[in-house]
Structure formats: C-alpha cells, structure tokens
Amino acid sequence: MGAQYYLWAWGVYWLAAMGCLLVWYRMTRSIRARSLKILLRAGAWIVLCTPWPQGNESGPLSPAFLTMLFDGLTLGPESMLRTLPVLLGLLALLLFLLLVDAVWGAGKREQRPPQSS
C-alpha cells in the first residue's frame, strides 16, 4: 500500500472516529456526574485515537485497540499484551487527572462564597 493510500485510510478513520465520538458525546451529555462523564468521554477518545505500530518493529501505525484485537485473533491472546500496557497506562493517567481535578475542585468549591438570592 502506497503512502497516499495510507494517509487516505487514516483520514477516513479519523473522520469516522470523530463521528463516533460526537455521537458518544451526545449520548453522555445527560449524565449528571461530571467525573463519570469526563471518564467515559476521555476513555472513548483514548481507545479510538491512540496509534500503535502494527508490527514488532516501528512501521505503519494503526489504532492501538485494533492492533490489540488483530494480534489476539491472529497470534493468540498472549500477543495482545504488547499493546495493553499503553492503553492501560493512558487510562491510569486519565484516572489520576480526574482524581487531581476532584481534589483541586473540592478545594475551590470550599473557597467560593455563598451566592445570595
């Protein structure tokens, strides 16, 4: 596959991923819990938009979850572990940032003066 087809394939994938994320954004907008809403939205972003090399050596990139899925289907479940740490690491970073936001946001809410009607 030539470089131009590769770029076209990524362009189509990104367009489709943005469409899926837009639908997911609209589906999660009715959730009242802000942290859960952010977790669901950013988790979908991480899963759909994290690139990863297709083979063991660096080469053409593909979405990490698709690489993990196809490695598991073709090479066996133990080969899925090649991509899993990256996705889990990004999700752990997301959870850490949500925790920091919750702690920092709680401090800001305590400092805010009460509103008078």
pLDDT digits (tens, 9 = 90+) for 65-110: 888 898 889 988 888 888 888 888 999 999 998 888 888 876 666 6
Which residue range is the domain that position 41 belongs to? 3-101
Cβ neighbourhood burial of 83 (10 Å; 0-12, 13-18, 19+) = buried
pTM: 0.74
| Total count of domains within the chain | 1
Domain assignment of residue 75, yes or no: yes
Domain assignment of residue 62, yes or no: yes
Q: Sort residue 66 into left (φ over 0), alpha (ψ -120 to 50) or beta.
A: alpha
> 63 in helix, strand or coil?
strand
C-alpha to C-alpha distance for 102 and 98, rounded to whole angstroms: 6
Domain assignment of residue 48, yes or no: yes
Which helix H or strand E contains 87, and what residues bound it?
helix 84-111
> 2 in helix, strand or coil?
coil
Question: What's the pLDDT tens digit per position in 7-59?
Answer: 898 899 999 999 999 999 999 999 998 888 988 999 999 989 888 888 777 77
